[in-house]
Amino acid sequence: MPSDTSTNLYDLTRPALGALLSGWGFGPYHRDQLWTALYRRHATTFDELDGLKPELLRMLREHTRLGQLATHHESFSSDGFTHKLLLRLDDGQTIETVLMRFKGRATVCISTQAGCAMGCVFCATGQMGLSRHLTPGEIVGQILHVNRILRASGETLRNVVLMGMGEPLHNYEHTMSAVDVLVDALGLAMGPRFITLSTVGVVPGIRRLADEERPIHLAVSLHGATDAERAALVPAGRRWPLDELMDACRYYSEKRKRRIFFEWTLISGRNDTAEHAHTLGLLLRGMDAHVNVIPLNPTVGYDGGPSRPESVRAFQDVLTSYDVPSTVRQRRGIDIDAGCGQLKATVERRSRRSLPTSA
Ligand code: SAH
Ligand code: SF4
């Protein structure tokens, strides 16, 4: 029987799996046979790994496990497009994964940490604090979980956004190992261009991403275009001020020859006036940038509200005057707490309420 400390096979990239197997005397042929069984034939148990050499299967049973994520709670938006899952990890932690199906193109929003250490004031995940980093297998596991749901209705996954719970660049190694598994040509073979990583602005991580060969998209959460305004919403802004952040973004954009997406959560009266838009326009003018404006999804721990539609339009008009393109991203499934961390917060509040109070 595999022990609790056994290796989760989904934690391993193909080269890492090769290293494990070669230590047992099995070469690349066996590695690739196992890899395709996991990611092409979708085996989820050792019994389904038929066709492998019996000695290899025995070693796998003894030393490894196939860690699956269980559905702890799920809900569907009233428009039917959004399916929000709260998935349970082996240690009982829960994380959010959101599946959005729109016009036959499925997108999944996945988590990279249980909680988050960055403390953005309006974010339900930030309000929880960090429990722990996810392992690569727990990040990949979210994709495998939604793939099973999609396969049942003959759909396929197209886009992956790392915009769920947590800060991906605070969990750099595990996140990148997971990305390497997702794009591996012999397995899930997802297009790197259909993967977007969103960061709060971890400068060393952005520079490292620029230096490595992973052609995924980068989105940077700004929410403020002066250090003081940004830091009031995003405490990480004190650690990595805007001049350092924008330098890193320019470095990324030049090195990777890529457009950067900037996210701006619009909060009524806080960061949605014409003046805020002018400051942002000046900051991004001349860059290969695209702004995604997202009206705030209100959270229990923050008293701000979303901008009115006319303020959103006026904000965009000012950006256009600086030749900065923008798109409004409505958070789909607002009725099911589809903002980052919100379902978990709601489910936990509910279960606390239903628990008997101790004397
Ligand atoms: N930690 C990363 C990725 C996860 S958050 C980051 O901060 O970029 C993904 C996006 O959702 C971020 O732009 C974040 O600011 C935004 N967001 C978080 N909570 C929100 C809320 N309640 N309403 C609107 N946008 C929110
Ligand atoms: Fe963390 Fe992103 Fe939420 Fe900020 S917005 S607390 S970085 S998950």
pLDDT at 358 over 70: no
pLDDT at 310 over 70: yes
* 2 in any annotated domain: no
121 and 37 both lie in a single domain: no
Answer whether 284 contacts ligand 2 (Cβ < 6 A): no
Phi, psi of 19 (to 5 degrees): -65, -40
Residue 198's pLDDT is what?
Answer: 97
Q: Atom of ligand 2 at shortest distance to CA of 166?
A: 8
- Give catalytic status of residue 48 as yes or no: no
d(CA 262, CA 294): 11
Structure tokens at 176: 């990148």
59 and 177 both lie in a single domain: no
* 24 in any annotated domain: yes
How far away, in angstroms, is 167 Cα from ligand 1 center? 10
pTM of the model as a whole: 0.94
Identify which ligand lies nearest to the alpha carbon of 111. 1
pLDDT at 157 over 50: yes
Can you give the CATH number for the domain in which 42 is found? 1.10.150.530
Can you give the CATH number for the domain in which 302 is found? 3.20.20.70
Name which of 35-44, 101-110, 348-357 the model is least confident about: 348-357
Atom 13 (ligand 1) nearest CA: 221
Q: Which residue has the tokens 């939604």?
A: 146
* 4 in any annotated domain: no
Q: Residue 258: CB partners within 8 Å, gap ≥ 6?
A: 215, 217, 218, 252, 288
The one catalytic residue among 123, 244, 340, 348: 340
Q: Per residue in 261-308, pLDDT tens?
A: 999 999 999 999 999 999 999 999 999 999 999 999 999 999 999 999
Residue 105's pLDDT is what?
Answer: 86
Domain count, the chain: 2
Q: Per residue in 52-84, pLDDT tens?
A: 999 999 999 999 999 999 999 999 988 888 999
How far away, in angstroms, is 123 Cα from ligand 1 center? 6
233 and 118 both lie in a single domain: yes
| 30: containing domain | 9-65
Last residue of a domain, one of 65, 91, 106: 65
Answer whether 221 contacts ligand 1 (Cβ < 6 A): yes
- Give catalytic status of residue 96 as yes or no: yes
Residue 20's pLDDT is what?
Answer: 98
